[in-house]
Amino acid sequence: MGDGGSDTGEDPMLDSLICVAGSSIKRSGFIASHSSDERERRVIFVNAGGEELRRQGHSEIEVETDRFFQGGDVLRTDEEVADGGDLPSIYQSARCGNFCYEFRDLPPGDYSVDLHFAEIVYTNGPRGMRVFNVFIQDEKAVSELDVYSIVGANRALQVMNIPVSAGKDGVVSVNFQGVVGSPTVSGICIKQGAPELQLVSSGRDGKSLLCDNCFAPVKLTAAENKAARMSFTAKYEREIRELKAQCQMKQDECYEAWMSLTAANQELEKVRAELDVKFFQNFTLGQAMEKETEKMAKISSKYEHDRRLWVAAIDELERKMKAIKSEHSQLSFEAHQCANSIPGLNQMVTAVQSLVGQYDDLKMKFNEEQERRKKLYNQLLESKGNIRVFCRCRPLNMEEASSRPQTVVEFTDAKDGDLGVLMNGSNKKIYKFDRVYTPKDDQCDVFEDASPVATSVLDGYNVCIFAYGQTGTGKTFTMEGTEQNRGVNYRTLELLFKIAEDRKKTISYDISVSVLEVYNEQVRDLLASSPPAKRMVVRLEIKQVSEGVNHVPGVVDMKVENVDEVWNILQTGSNARAVGSNNVNGHSSRSHCMICTVVRAKNLVTGECTRSKLWLVDLAGSERLAKTDVQGERLKEAQSINKSLSALGDVISALATKSSHIPYRNSKLTHLLQDSLGGDSKTLMFVQISPSEHDLGETVSSLNFATRVRGVELGPAKKQSDTTEIQKLKLMVRLNNFL
């Protein structure tokens, strides 16, 4: 070619790198040719990793900016590259990594490719740090090229006159694949026309292929050119296979020697370890023998001492045995005298048997009386009104106590159910409730009065217990409590299991629990396994399965066997509940939490089946928006809370006036409680108040609402028969008649 001749000489290493006949390696940079034919042949010259270059003069050179590549990174150096030729700057940049080049839109025909390299990264070696192959049109053109081992660091290297043909698609691809490390290239030049080769006398075999600029040109035909390429390729592949075979043989010999040495070392280590073990065993046995000798001497001394003690103890026991025998003889004599002095012993045995019969009869009568007492007690509760109202006042918190506010609540007649509230100045208003709790009363006192109503669910009655009041007055504490001081929810379920255990011989119970909340007028399942964000999206609807009986399809209903399972469920529901903060309460409940306990009972004697429901409801706190000063999402929550509590007040008013229409469906809260606020259920309300004068308005509002609730008469409660069991019995009767 016109850009310079090859200086590979007779180096067999360089010969092995070239996989295509007619190509050559030059240990210097690009030299421009003055021939116009040579300039016209140059189609594309790319500065890999660099910018566009131009050189004016006798031989104009135009090098394009880096393009046509796919993948790889750019390397650059400011150090001078030796033997860089006419364009040393192209060797100061390179494309590196996993990359390839595709030159498109070339006219179909023969071309030759020149590749320009320089090692600008591993300037201190060693050899073998960067070895790679070059494929042109998917055929290997250069094999295992190591630039550093040929010319060293910061020196130019060319692989020239690689023949290639472009097909109808007009694409020439140059692909670089690393053997060790990442491949690099500094420039690619594509020239039109195949390289011209010749045969001249030289070297080992008397014939070599050289460029036509070096010797008198003798052009080869296409067939000769192809044959020469195949000959070179076959020769180099044969040499490569021989070298690989020799390398593999040496590797096998090294591996066998290494394995033999490793085995010998392992055997030696094993023997050393055994010797260490034997030495340690001998040393340990010697110490053990010394300790055993000392122990035997101590045992012998102790044995002699104990023997003397046992001899003395045996003598003492023999003396005591004689005394006991003497006492036994005396007692036997006295017993015979006593037996002879009691006349009519057989008559006494008959009398005892008669008493046993009377005991069994009294036991049966006691059970009957207990059943009558239970009915009378339920009638007593109904005579007081099925909605019972208990008032509980929380103590002053630390912030209130530090500011020393005036207390507006008086508990002088609290034992009689009277609560005094100082309205304005000296005016005092008296409120009457079924029970009033002072701040000193604890959780046990509260539950003691609530437990008879709660346990009515085991007798087949629907029961509803709910806490109402201003936010921050202790509703959640009354209903839930803490792990050390548990509230009504846990204590009620604990008592249900205790009573169920006492009655298990006559009545079997199945108890299941579900936990819901009404948040922004949406029913959410707090026991669902989905995350909170998804629970907000899932909408649960209330369905009516029979007259006045509601059900929520899809809700998780957990069957419980003991109080530990109950506590875990209550904790899960409490942790999933929506809470927030406002000016009144830093940890305010933002929803109505509703625990539904379903009790299925079957009397093993009479066969009677009941299905009753217990609602334990912690209502969200009533709020005055002007006082809490909430905005955004908290404002929406407060409006929803006040709306549902207003709907609850409408239901209470309708029940109090015995209206023909009760607006249960005005709120999700009242709709869920429809079967427990109606005329066939038992209802208990806790009204929670604050003693602080700052909360007087909210306290009076809560007490007025509780007074309205206490005036509601629902009528006698009814047992809830299990319609499922009734249907099963009817089906069995029909089958028997059919058979």
Report helix, strand and coil shares of the chain as percent, to nearest 5: 45, 25, 30
Q: What would the two tokens of residue 164 be?
A: 């290639």
Chain CA centroid to CA 415, Å: 52
Rg (CA), the chain: 52
Burial of 640 from C-beta contacts in 10 A (0-12 / 13-18 / 19+): buried
Q: Give the orientation angle of helix 488-502 with respect to helix 563-575, to 10 degrees.
A: 160
The amino acid at residue 381 is L
**What SS3 state is found at 599?**
strand
Q: Annotation-wise, does 244 bind a ligand? A: no
Contacts of 392 (CB under 8 A, 6+ apart): 436, 437, 441, 446, 474, 478, 686, 687, 688, 689
Number of other CB atoms surrounding residue 328 within 10 Å: 10
The amino acid at residue 436 is V
Burial of 391 from C-beta contacts in 10 A (0-12 / 13-18 / 19+): buried
Q: What would the two tokens of residue 492 be?
A: 């009620």
* Residues in a beta bridge with 191: 42, 112
Q: Annotation-wise, does 472 bind a ligand? A: yes
Of 419, 423, 446, 449, whose CA–CA distance to 432 is shortest? 419
Q: Annotation-wise, does 683 bind a ligand? A: no
Contact between 392 and 446 (Cβ < 8 Å) = yes
Positive or negative torsion for Cα 293, 299, 300, 305: positive
Of 620, 585, 586, whose CA–CA distance to 476 is shortest? 620
Query: For 46-77, b where at least 16 C-beta lie within 10 A, e where not — what string?
Result: bbbbbeebeeeeeeebebeebebbeebeebeb
What span, in angstroms and rounded, lies between the C-alpha atoms of 142 and 113? 12
What span, in angstroms and rounded, lies between the C-alpha atoms of 460 and 719? 5
What span, in angstroms and rounded, lies between the C-alpha atoms of 609 and 611? 7
Q: Annotation-wise, does 470 bind a ligand? A: yes
Strands 592-603 vs 609-618: parallel, antiparallel or unpaired: antiparallel
Q: Annotation-wise, does 167 bind a ligand? A: no
Q: What would the two tokens of residue 154 be?
A: 């910061």
* Residues in a beta bridge with 11: none
Q: What would the two tokens of residue 12 be?
A: 């067999």
C-alpha distance from residue 670 to each of 311, 386, 649, 684 (Å)? 87, 17, 10, 15
Q: Annotation-wise, does 474 bind a ligand? A: yes
Position of tokens 């690099």? 184
Contact between 65 and 47 (Cβ < 8 Å) = yes
Q: Annotation-wise, does 473 bind a ligand? A: yes
Give the HSE-up count for residue 272: Cα atoms under 13 Å, Cβ half-sphere.
Answer: 6
What span, in angstroms and rounded, lies between the C-alpha atoms of 384 and 104? 99
Q: Which residues are annotated as a binding site for ATP?
A: 469-476
Known binding residues are 469-476
